[in-house]
Amino acid sequence: MARFATVRRVPRRRETLDDLLLANGEGLDAFAKRTGIPRFTLYRLREGKVETPRIDTVVRLAKALGVEPARVRAAIEASRK
């Protein structure tokens, strides 16, 4: 009788805002200057310290990163956990 190996599913880690910013390849200071979003705000978003980000901030981040606002919102949410 053949035995099969048990395949264990590894849960995927959710994409965080830090992941999006790192993939952008731009430093936080340069990104803050380019988007007009204060560095302190970016830091607080990245660290998950903002519970409900302003929609205009989410939209500006999305445009600067070249992704949909929903993806940025989900990444901010994942940063909070």
- What is the model's pLDDT at position 1? 58
- What is the model's pLDDT at position 14? 85
CA angle 28, 30, 35 (to 5 degrees): 90
| Tokens representing residue 75 in the block | 């990444």
Query: Could you give all domains of the chain from N- to C-terminal order, each with its CATH number?
Result: 17-79 (1.10.260.40)
State residue 49 phi and psi, 5-degree precision. Answer: -95, 0
What's the pLDDT tens digit per position in 32-73?
A: 999 999 999 999 999 989 989 999 999 999 999 999 999 999
Segment 26-35 shows an average pLDDT of 92
Name the pTM for this structure: 0.78
